Amino acid sequence: MAKVLVVDDSSSMRQMVSFALKQAGHEVTEGRDGNDGLSKAQGLKADLVITDVNMPGKDGLELTRELRKLPDYKFTPILVLTTEAGPEKKQEGKAAGATGWLVKPFDPEKLMSTVNKVLR
Amino acid sequence: MSMDMSQFIEAFLEESFEGLDHMETELLALSEGDEETLHTIFRAAHSIKGGAGTFGFSAISEFTHGMETLLDRMRNGQQEATPEIVNLLLRAVDVLRGQLQAARDGGEADPAEAAEVRALIEATLGEDTPAPATGGGSDDAGSGNADGGDDGASGGWRIDFRPHADMLRTGNDPLRMFEVLEELGELTVSSQPDGLPETLEGYEPEASYLAWTLELRGDVERADIEEVFEWVEDECDLTIEPLETAGDSAGAQAPADPPPDGSGPESAPAGSEESAGGAPARTASKPTESSSMRVNAAKIDALIDMVGELVITQSMLTDISEQLEEDPSRVEQQIERLRSGLAELERNTRELQESVMGIRMVPIAQVFNRFPRLVHDLSGQLGKQIDLQMEGELTEIDKTVLEHLGDPLVHLVRNAIDHGIEMPDERSAAGKDPTGRVTLEAYHRGGNVVIEIRDDGRGMNSDRILEKARAAGLLRPDQTPEPHEILQYIFEPGLSTAEKLSDLSGRGVGMDVVKKNIRGLGGNIELHSEPGRGSRITIRLPLTLSIMDGQLLKIHDETFVIPLIAIVESLQTEPENVKQAFGKLPLYRLRDEYIPVVDLAALFGQAEPTPMPDRALLVVAEADNQRVALRVDDLLGQQQVVIKTLETNFRRVPGTAGATILGDGQVALILDVAGIARMAAGRDTRAA
Amino acid sequence: MANDATQSIQDPATAGEDQYLTFILADEEYGVDILRVQEIKGWERPTPLPNTPDYIRGVINVRGMIVPIIDMRLRFGMEPLEYGPTTVVIMLRVISEDRERVMGIVVDAVSEVYSIGDDNLQPAPDFGTRIGIDFVRGLATVEEKMILVLDIDTLLGPGLIASEDAIREEQGA
């Protein structure tokens, strides 16, 4: 079981991702947007962060950059959810410090197999 | 793992509808160079696209793709937000709304309009647009075998993996990667420490210095290995070569020649075949319109607090009863406590009731929001200049009332624009501002929600209305009502004053239907107008449909509830005004009007008809423009009642509008005045 | 409505042995599927409903729910019995038109709970009366007593929850 922080401004996506993770026995904390995600992350010491990229306020890339500055999140896997499968978007994610990405649309199976790539 | 996605679809649809409303509002408010607004609009389209793909609505996802690209260009300043582009995007919003509605309710959205709008968007984007993704995100589909050749090397693979120093800083962990590889086949790992610095000077603990050579034996596909290293391909040197040829084939390194878009084959979405042929995938359950609603979290918190108080009160009451048992001598004192405890309980219950009802309350903005668009479109079509003002959008109203309010309001606003507001030159000639003003306002007053629709147009021609009302036989030639009363005839069936039937208002829905709908919601509607100055329509609605102000009546030892709003007056009969028709039908003469008197117990088949006495207590009630006088034995109190339907466990019962539970636990029927009037009228025609 | 008794007893869902709660009406014993029994209450005066058949006694309040009460003696055209302290109301879950409704039936008394196998359920004979018998699932013999097993969904479903047309017809009658 791992502690996972799920950040997405779309509640349906958030619910779906959380549900799949909880079914797999993980403990999930949800963030409504980048700012909420950042404040939820502090003190949580999540084992994995999954964040949407396009969000109002602080987007997923900014969130990733700021998380990487926190001692607790220096090496924590951070997966970004993105609809842009293009190389430059992925590169942007990597540059911000993301571990990897998950391209929308995805189904729960795909989500979990991706999560398993980074969670021990 | 299997998971029922339908449980999230309702939430997705709901938030998408909200997103569309938002997009529409922002598009209408869009002014040049407004980057933040464009970001917001883009995000809404983006979210709908992502969600639609994930929840299986590939047609919606595909359609949104072009919109998203266009919006992306607009926010990057590559595309100007011309009125044409804004109108195109508004059309696209409509298409999407239709598609989402079809997804929710079943049925099909208009494919021709979707195709046309999509083509227009693509034409705007020009030829350099990438073809819209089929099935969303599957633009990399089929790249799995792109490398061809040695894909299925049966012996195994030799992997040289040399991370760059920074690789660990993105949270990628070589050991975890090896674990994943181990799941694919038999793995042997040897580390190559040649990259380690010679001394600890300059050694960065967060950097990666080691390199590894791995041998993976078994029937493993190259793509599976590439997938493991997918995220680090730019942060390491990697060669993957079949074990047999290891050593003599220098050039077979995979990621140096990655699939065209750099992503591995796994990003082809599972289920992308659903979108084949472009048919909308429909896995959604079909929630009905009002099956779910969003509730402000603060309202839930308030409820929880109140339940907390209720629990405290309950434990206090329990304590009193225990004290009474233990020490009956102090009854007086305990009764005092009991009284205050019960008063507390009453307060808790009332507050809880109000709060629970409050959950159903939603801001009227949900209906008002559609009007900027409507006014935008109409003023364009009619060549009129209109300034729409909205006030009190946050006024709350019961969700069910709100759902039924949309159509009547649209009709009234269309009317105001179509018939009320004059053409700009006509206005100028009359010394008015060429831009007409339409105002929508909502506010609470005395337990009601009041909605006003005002315009500063030409006003109503009361002479014409009077003429038409006479022609329609609604009043006798010698009757001359007050000017204010004349205007109300506009709500009668068959009285349309439109000079010419325009495309907009002449759609067979008349003001009579509007009035009927409003009355159906337990409300009323009134018109005020001044020629040349404009009109004002006032709608009064109950705050909620599930609670009603009622008058309790006693008829034949049964208690009934009649809606207070339906009561015209209560009176003691005067013998000289009690009349009779056809030997059996009693009428009461109230001023100039003969009102049928209803013996309710007989009408309801619960007692033999009794002759009308000279002196009786009558309650005159009105609904659907019909008046009836109910003979009652006693008028009891007035109170708010919670309306319960008989249909839950039985069926609709004519003459009743449901039932309620009185303070003593007894059930009392709520009278349906309109239904009773119809029943009484029907009864007259047959032998009693 | 079909009047063929065999139709209701060949329901595949009833295979095996079911438990039935039996009740008494004028010394006769009737059974209903015990899984449909929600609770048993004493008699309380219901609020009458307008223009409904006499066997629909009205509605009562069951924990905030409005529930119709049906007198079984009147439903079967038997002599009415004065309601007293022993009169019992059996609250049943009735399923029809894909909906579940709660309804109460007034009976003389509750009797026993029996397990009755489908094999022991004989089709009802043609009673040759005006009473439609499509609501009789079958006849069972237990301890030399005859028990009429009722199909409550047919008995209390479509006939009672009449369509709007039926309601109008009723009023016009």
| DSSP secondary structure, B301-346, as one string | HHHHHHHHHHHHHHHHHHHHHHHHHH-GGGHHHHHHHHHHHHHHHH
Pair B82, B203 in one domain: no
Q: Which of B558, B649, B682 sits opposite C66 (nearest CB)?
A: B649
Is B15 among the domain residues?
yes
Are the beta carbons of B176 and A23 separated by less than 8 Å?
no
CA–CA distance, C152 with C159 (Å, rounded to integer): 11
Chain B residues within an 8 Å CB radius of A81: 50
Q: What is the mean pLDDT of the segment spanning B660-671?
A: 89
Q: Which of A74, A83, A103 sits opposite B46 (nearest CB)?
A: A83
Is A25 among the domain residues?
yes
Per-residue pLDDT for B258 more than 60?
Answer: no
Per-residue pLDDT for B68 more than 70?
Answer: yes
Q: Please report the number of interchain residue pairs, chain A to chain B, with beta-carbon separation below 8 angstroms.
A: 145
Q: Which of B139, B171, B234 sits opposite A76 (nearest CB)?
A: B171
Q: Which of B605, B649, B682 sits opposite C103 (nearest CB)?
A: B649
Under a CB-based contact definition with an 8 Å cutoff, are residues B9 and B55 in contact?
yes
Per-residue pLDDT for B284 more than 70?
Answer: no
pTM value surpassing 0.90: no
Chains in contact with chain C (at least 3 beta-carbon pairs closer than 8 A) = B
Best residue in C45, C51, C165, C167 to probe B by mutation, most B CBs within 10 Å?
A: C51
Per-residue pLDDT for B578 more than 60?
Answer: yes
Domain ranges of chain C: 16-172
Q: What mean pLDDT, rounded, does chain C reach?
A: 80
Best residue in B546, B557, B598, B650 to probe C by mutation, most C CBs within 10 Å?
A: B650
Per-residue pLDDT for C57 more than 70?
Answer: yes
Choosing from B542, B560, B582, the residue where a domain stops is B542
Q: What is the mean pLDDT of the segment spanning A82-103?
A: 80
Domain C16-172, CATH among 3.40.50.11540, 1.10.150.170, 2.40.50.180, 1.10.3330.10: 2.40.50.180
Chain A residues within an 8 Å CB radius of B50: 10, 13, 52, 81, 83, 104-105
Number of domains in chain B: 5
Chain A residues within an 8 Å CB radius of B17: none
Chain A residues within an 8 Å CB radius of B137: 83, 85, 103-105
Are the beta carbons of C50 and B648 separated by less than 8 Å?
no
Number of domains in chain A: 1
Per-residue pLDDT for B20 more than 80?
Answer: yes
Is A18 among the domain residues?
yes
Best residue in C36, C44, C59, C160 to probe B by mutation, most B CBs within 10 Å?
A: C59
Are the beta carbons of C66 and B653 separated by less than 8 Å?
no
Under a CB-based contact definition with an 8 Å cutoff, are residues B206 and B167 in contact?
no
- B377-390 residue pLDDT tens: 888 888 999 999 99
Does C124 reach chain B within 8 Å, measured CB to CB?
A: no
pLDDT of residue B547: 76
Q: Which of C47, C161, C172 sits opposite B669 (nearest CB)?
A: C47
Q: Which residue has the higher pLDDT, B471 or B151?
A: B471
CATH of the domain at B233: 3.30.70
Q: Which of A20, A52, A103 sits opposite B267 (nearest CB)?
A: A103
What's the domain range around A10? 3-114
Is B577 among the domain residues?
yes
3-class DSSP state of C142: strand
With cut-offs at 50, 70 and 90, classify the pLDDT of residue B361: confident
With cut-offs at 50, 70 and 90, classify the pLDDT of residue B481: confident
Q: Which residue has the higher pLDDT, C122 or B133?
A: C122
With cut-offs at 50, 70 and 90, classify the pLDDT of residue B662: confident
Name the percent of chain B lying above pLDDT 90.
Answer: 16
Q: Which two tokens stand for residue B459?
A: 């006003």
pLDDT of residue B636: 92
Pair B533, B556 in one domain: no
Per-residue pLDDT for B153 more than 60?
Answer: no
Give the residue from chain A lying closest to B45, CA to CA: A54
With cut-offs at 50, 70 and 90, classify the pLDDT of residue B537: very high
Are the beta carbons of A19 and B3 separated by less than 8 Å?
yes
- C98-143 residue pLDDT tens: 778 899 999 999 998 998 888 888 887 776 655 566 788 889 988 8
pLDDT of residue B276: 36
| Length of chain C measured in residues | 173
Q: How far is CA B38 from CA B74, B122, B181, B648, in A?
A: 7, 19, 45, 48
Chain C residues within an 8 Å CB radius of B645: 66
- Whose CA is closest to A80, among A59, A66, A108? A59
Chains in contact with chain B (at least 3 beta-carbon pairs closer than 8 A) = A, C
Per-residue pLDDT for C171 more than 60?
Answer: no
Does B226 reach chain A within 8 Å, measured CB to CB?
A: no
Q: What is the mean pLDDT of the segment spanning C142-153?
A: 90
pLDDT of residue C148: 92
Are the beta carbons of C160 and B654 separated by less than 8 Å?
no
Q: What is the mean pLDDT of the segment spanning C62-69?
A: 88
CATH of the domain at A49: 3.40.50.2300
Pair B65, B209 in one domain: no
Per-residue pLDDT for B589 more than 80?
Answer: yes
Pair B339, B443 in one domain: no
Under a CB-based contact definition with an 8 Å cutoff, are residues A80 and A65 in contact?
no
pLDDT of residue B206: 65
The residue behind tokens 């007989």 is: B602
Is A74 among the domain residues?
yes
pLDDT of residue B203: 62
Per-residue pLDDT for B137 more than 50?
Answer: no
Pair B207, B113 in one domain: no
Per-residue pLDDT for B320 more than 80?
Answer: yes
Q: Which two tokens stand for residue A110?
A: 């795909």
Residues of chain B numbered 62-81 and touching chain A (CB < 8 Å): none
Our CA-based measurement puts residue C112 at a distance from the nearest CA of chain B, in whole angstroms, of 27
For the stretch B576-592, what's the b/e string if a residue is b when 16 or more beta carbons lie within 10 angstroms of its beta carbon?
Answer: eebeeeeeeebbbebee
Per-residue pLDDT for C12 more than 90?
Answer: no
- Torsion region of B303: left, alpha or beta (phi above 0 gives left; psi -120 to 50 gives alpha): alpha
- C34-55 residue pLDDT tens: 999 999 999 999 999 999 888 9
Which strands sit side by side in the sheet containing B593-598, from one edge to the other?
B567-572, B617-623, B626-632, B593-598, B585-590, B578-581
Chain A residues within an 8 Å CB radius of B174: none
Is A95 among the domain residues?
yes
Q: What mean pLDDT, rounded, does chain B reach?
A: 79
Pair B132, B166 in one domain: no
Q: What is the mean pLDDT of the segment spanning B318-322?
A: 87
Pair B33, B93 in one domain: yes
What's the domain range around B607? 547-684
Examine chains C and A and say if they touch (3+ CB pairs below 8 A): no
Pair B527, B574 in one domain: no
Which strands sit side by side in the sheet containing B547-555, from one edge to the other?
B634-642, B547-555, B558-563, B667-671, B656-661
With cut-offs at 50, 70 and 90, classify the pLDDT of residue B567: very high
Of these ranges, B136-145, B302-311, B479-488, B653-662, the one predicted with the greatest mean pLDDT is B653-662
Which ipTM did the prediction report?
0.83
CA–CA distance, A18 with A8 (Å, rounded to integer): 11
Pair B537, B552 in one domain: no
Under a CB-based contact definition with an 8 Å cutoff, are residues C81 and C34 in contact?
no
Q: Which of B8, B43, B170 sits opposite A54 (nearest CB)?
A: B43
Which of the residue ranges A49-53, B328-332, C11-15, C46-50 would you say has the lowest mean pLDDT?
C11-15
- A66-83 residue pLDDT tens: 999 888 898 899 999 887
Give the residue from chain B lying closest to A16, CA to CA: B8
Q: Please report the number of interchain residue pairs, chain B to chain C, with beta-carbon separation below 8 angstroms.
A: 80
pLDDT of residue A38: 92
Is A120 among the domain residues?
no
Is A119 among the domain residues?
no
pLDDT of residue B247: 46
Are the beta carbons of A105 and B61 separated by less than 8 Å?
yes
Q: Which two tokens stand for residue A42?
A: 């502090």
With cut-offs at 50, 70 and 90, classify the pLDDT of residue B129: very low
Q: What is the mean pLDDT of the segment spanning B87-107?
A: 88
Q: What is the mean pLDDT of the segment spanning B194-206?
A: 63
Chain B residues within an 8 Å CB radius of A112: 1
Q: Which of C49, C60, C65 sits opposite B653 (nearest CB)?
A: C49
Per-residue pLDDT for B133 more than 80?
Answer: no
Give the residue from chain C lying closest to B670, CA to CA: C49
Is B282 among the domain residues?
no
Q: Which of C50, C65, C103 sits opposite B606 (nearest CB)?
A: C50
Q: How many CA atoms lie within 13 A of A53 on its CB side?
A: 25
Pair B657, B573 in one domain: yes
Chain B residues within an 8 Å CB radius of A100: 172, 230-231
Pair B579, B657 in one domain: yes
CA–CA distance, B377 with B303 (Å, rounded to integer): 42
Is B143 among the domain residues?
no
Pair B392, B538 in one domain: yes
Is A76 among the domain residues?
yes
CATH of the domain at B638: 2.30.30.40
- B37-58 residue pLDDT tens: 888 888 888 888 888 888 888 8
| DSSP secondary structure, C22-54, as one string | EEEETTEEEEEEGGGEEEEEE--PPBP-TT--T
Are the beta carbons of B655 and C50 separated by less than 8 Å?
yes
Choosing from B542, B574, B606, the residue where a domain stops is B542
